[in-house]
Amino acid sequence: MRASLGRGHWRRLCAFVPVLALTALCSCASTRPATSDSRRFDFQRDTFAYANGLVWEYGYDTNGVWRSHKRVPRPDYTQHCFVVARCAKQFFENARFDPLQPVAEETTYRRLIRQVVATSPRRQLPEPECTVIPGYADLRAFSTAHEKLLKDECGSAWRSYLQRGHWRMIFPVTRHHQAKTANLLLAHLRERGPAVVHVFCFPQLSINHALLIFDAKETVTDIQFTIYDPVDAAKPGTMVFDRANRSFFLPPNPYFRGGPVNAYEIYCKWDY
């Protein structure tokens, strides 16, 4: 075949090869569906109306010592932070709400919730394969009307304890790793949308928690990540990455006194 082509034909063919390569690359990039039709994550629409409760109450005593004691009465829904963060991501990426359709029966919603929860949080479905939730405009409205059903079907607390990425927590976390993580999270937000992160302090475990990052603002000194904290259903929060210290920081909240934390993304790869 090569001997039958003249020199001019080969020049034209060689010139055309980069075009073919570029086309192939562009085609590969476009096979992944745009996140939720390029819709941005909206805290008031895309989060659950209920919160993951805390087993313990935390605070400073009269001597300024951070202490904890069991909450009485104990909330009926606790230790589901990984479940709530993961499911918020799954509903955002792999479900669509249609308020124009009539409200369905509970058995239908139970089946649809299970269908969404069964999708991989590591892969966004193409639009035609997304589960349609009839009768409601968004997850906030749906979870207001069907709180118990969602709590029952989204997953048990063991899914928080046995999340596959927990192995990473026990290994040393370097400042280089955290700087790389911050950049990867920025890239994920731009290219794919919300990301779930595991935040922790090890070995003392003063915090061992899951957050959903859905926006970021960069400055010269830091990156301010906007977060959905499963413990707070009322408003978004902030986790800051300090460029100089190459560390993530969480402000004080009902379960953490505030300070540096380690973080890495989960529900993103086969081993996380």
pLDDT in tens, 123-176: 999 999 999 999 999 999 999 999 999 999 999 877 676 777 777 888 889 999
Residue 157: its pLDDT value, please?
Answer: 78
The answer to whether position 88 is within a domain reads yes
Same domain, 118 and 145: yes
Same domain, 44 and 156: yes
Same domain, 215 and 131: no
Q: Which residue has the higher pLDDT, 16 or 149?
A: 149
- Of 50, 44, 46, residue with least CA distance to 80: 50
Same domain, 181 and 75: no
Cα–Cα distance list, 113 to 117, 201, 240 (Å): 6, 33, 33
pLDDT at 4 over 80: no
Q: Which among 160, 178, 196 is the end of a domain?
A: 160
Residue 31: its pLDDT value, please?
Answer: 30
Same domain, 156 and 168: no
Residue 194: its pLDDT value, please?
Answer: 97
Same domain, 93 and 169: no
Q: Which residue has the higher pLDDT, 49 or 76?
A: 49
Same domain, 100 and 174: no
Same domain, 49 and 156: yes
Which class for 201: exposed (0-12), middle (13-18), buried (19 or more C-beta within 10 A)?
Answer: middle
Average pLDDT score, the chain: 85
Residue 24: its pLDDT value, please?
Answer: 37
pLDDT at 122 over 80: yes
Calculate mean pLDDT across residues 33-39.
Answer: 53
Q: pTM of this prediction? A: 0.83
| Residue 149, CA atoms < 13 Å, CB-side half-sphere | 16
The type of residue at 34 is A
The answer to whether position 33 is within a domain reads no
Proportion of the chain above pLDDT 90, given as a percent: 67
Cα–Cα distance list, 31 to 26, 151, 167, 186 (Å): 9, 34, 32, 21
Same domain, 101 and 205: no
Same domain, 102 and 67: yes
The answer to whether position 271 is within a domain reads no
The answer to whether position 17 is within a domain reads no
Cα–Cα distance list, 89 to 151, 181, 189, 265, 267 (Å): 15, 19, 12, 13, 10
Q: Which among 109, 144, 160 is the end of a domain?
A: 160
- Of 33-37, 101-105, 217-221, least confident by mean pLDDT is 33-37
Same domain, 43 and 156: yes
Residue 159: its pLDDT value, please?
Answer: 67
How are beta strands 95-98 and 131-134 bridged, if at all?
parallel
Same domain, 149 and 221: no
What range defines the domain where residue 240 resides?
164-266
How would residue 25 be classed by pLDDT, with cut points 50, 70 and 90? very low
Per-residue pLDDT of 190-241, as tens digits, reads 999 999 999 999 888 788 999 999 999 999 999 999 999 999 999 999 999 9
How many structural domains is the chain composed of? Answer: 2
**CA 65 from centroid of its chain's CA atoms:** 33
The answer to whether position 61 is within a domain reads yes
The answer to whether position 111 is within a domain reads yes
Decide: 223 and 217 in contact? Cβ < 8 Å. yes
Residue 170: its pLDDT value, please?
Answer: 85
Q: Which among 160, 190, 217 is the end of a domain?
A: 160
pLDDT at 9 over 90: no
The answer to whether position 60 is within a domain reads yes
Residue 167: its pLDDT value, please?
Answer: 76
The answer to whether position 30 is within a domain reads no
- Of 15-19, 87-91, 195-199, 253-257, least confident by mean pLDDT is 15-19
Q: Which residue has the higher pLDDT, 27 or 51?
A: 51
pLDDT at 7 over 50: no
Q: Which residue has the higher pLDDT, 158 or 86?
A: 86
